A = this chain, B = another copy of it.
Amino acid sequence: MNPQPDYSAAYVVLRTSDGDEGHSLVFTIGRGNDVQVAAIQALEPLVVGLPVDPTLADLGGFARRISGDSQFRWLGPDKGVIAMASGAIVNAAWDLRARRENKPLWRLLAEMSPEQIVDLVDFRYLRDALTPAEALEILRADGRDVRQQRLLDSGYPAYTTTPGWLGYDDEKLARLSKEAVADGFGMIKLKVGGDLDDDRRRLRIAREAVGPDLPIAVDANQVWGVGEAIEWMTALAPHGPYWIEEPTSPDDVLGHARIREAVTPIKVATGEHGANPVLFKQLLQAQAVDVVQIDATRVGGINDNVAILLLAAKFGVPVCPHAGGVGLCEMVQHLAMFDYVAVSGTQADRRIEYVDHLHEHFVDPVVVRGGRYLTPTAPGAGARMHASSLAQFTYPDGPAWA
């Protein structure tokens, strides 16, 4: 589906008059990155000149104002380029606040009161599935301190997509699959959907490499219709894939529900292209997914992702964040860790995706050891890149483009 990605990002910096900065980005795969930049620039007048302290003290109100501007909202609503632009600005504001409070984002969120967390969420379209009172109930559970300490001690489980890209030859697939096991990863993922015989062979090779017990997820990147997804996964079922990710259009709630009904016990996972919490609400209401995948830069920012985490907790469905791309690992780990400490309270059936790519450009790159994300302690929300990387790769004037 995405044959030639050219990993890119629209990069945002919020600057205060006293010199603090909040950074964020929207991950894109090449063409269109400048459209994303244009959308972020168009939102500047909603942000520039705001008083810093009251804005950062009320990031629920800030997010609602940015994403709720009626004229910009017309271009969505709540989806696509304009929603991702709002999300990037909201996320940059969170980075700014986390740095000013000298906390990593996950800890900033996890140390807020249940009332403050609930106030981050726009419940307008969510109340039929989750009321503010139910969200408070979820957030009031005991044990935050214990979980926070456990998180600092032992991190959060990861899985790796490194072995499974289409285009790797069989030898490389086998070698990288074995390395993943040796590195301690609890799951690997293979791309599927190109050719059924290839998929069967690659699953056999990966299974042989990782042994009988390690879960192997597969990812179709939206390439199928509903019927085709059911047929293909029925054909792959004897190979015991753990989940099928993005079997069809990310918008097709009812389609995912039909696919899930047909392919159980293979789990159904989706969400990296889910446009907004209303989509996730319906995936949960329709029992369409076994695994909710959040993305750091797709929805309208951290506030929307807090809403999605609360919805998933209400429905008892695990969240396994999508990562990879540019900086997604660095950003999304904070959401999974906040979920563990303050929302779902568990790491069971939960893993953050990991791809070993481009981390060298980030000031606080993720550290994965023994198949687990080590818990970040540096302040911020994770997206800040090295000034040298920004200088090198900024389009069109960076030397990399010469």
In contact, A32 and B127 (Cβ under 8 angstroms): no
State the Cβ distance, A272 to closest chain B Cβ, in Å.
11
In contact, A32 and B249 (Cβ under 8 angstroms): no
Instruction: Report chain B residues within 8 Å CB of A82.
Output: 32, 35, 80-81
In contact, B278 and A252 (Cβ under 8 angstroms): yes
In contact, A74 and B250 (Cβ under 8 angstroms): no
Q: How far is the CA of A128 from the CA of B282 in the complex (A)?
A: 19
Chain A window 250-289, contacts with chain B (Cβ cutoff 8 Å), 1 for yes, 0 for no: 1111110010000000000000010110110110011000
Binds B, one of A59-67, A167-175, A220-228, A362-370: A220-228
Binds B, one of A1-9, A107-115, A207-215, A334-342: A1-9
In contact, B32 and A71 (Cβ under 8 angstroms): yes
Instruction: Report chain B residues within 8 Å CB of A5.
Output: 70-71, 74
Contact A273 B77, CB 8 Å, known A42-B32, A254-B285? yes
Residue of B nearest to A69 (CB): B31
In contact, B80 and A32 (Cβ under 8 angstroms): no
Residue A80 contacts which of B71, B76, B222, B285 (CB distance < 8 angstroms)? B76
Residue A34 CB within 8 A of the other chain: yes
Q: How far is the CA of A6 from the CA of B69 in the complex (A)?
A: 13
Interface of A is mostly: loop
Residue A30 CB within 8 A of the other chain: yes
Residue A79 contacts which of B28, B32, B251 (CB distance < 8 angstroms)? B251
In contact, A34 and B38 (Cβ under 8 angstroms): yes
Residue A35 contacts which of B42, B225, B250 (CB distance < 8 angstroms)? B42
Instruction: Report chain B residues within 8 Å CB of A148.
Output: none
State the Cβ distance, A193 to closest chain B Cβ, in Å.
12
Count the copies: 2
In contact, B225 and A251 (Cβ under 8 angstroms): no
Residue A176 CB within 8 A of the other chain: no
Q: How far is the CA of A28 from the CA of B69 in the complex (A)?
A: 13
State the Cβ distance, A223 to closest chain B Cβ, in Å.
9
Q: How far is the CA of A222 from the CA of B122 in the complex (A)?
A: 14
Residue A72 CB within 8 A of the other chain: yes
Contact A74 B225, CB 8 Å, known A125-B248, A255-B125? no
In contact, B282 and A252 (Cβ under 8 angstroms): yes
Residue A126 CB within 8 A of the other chain: yes
State the Cβ distance, A83 to closest chain B Cβ, in Å.
7
Q: How far is the CA of A29 from the CA of B253 in the complex (A)?
A: 30
State the Cβ distance, A73 to closest chain B Cβ, in Å.
8
Which 8 A-B pairs give the minimum distances between C-beta atoms? Answer: A80-B80, A81-B81, A31-B71, A128-B226, A38-B38, A30-B71, A125-B249, A32-B72
Pull 18 A–B residue pairs with CB atoms less than 8 Å apart, ordered by A. Answer: A5-B71, A6-B71, A31-B72, A34-B42, A35-B81, A39-B81, A77-B222, A78-B249, A80-B81, A123-B225, A127-B228, A128-B227, A251-B279, A251-B282, A252-B282, A253-B254, A253-B282, A254-B286
Binding site for B on A (CB under 8 A): 1-6, 28-32, 34-36, 38-39, 42, 69-72, 74-85, 123-128, 222, 225-228, 248-255, 258, 273, 275-276, 278-279, 281-282, 285-286
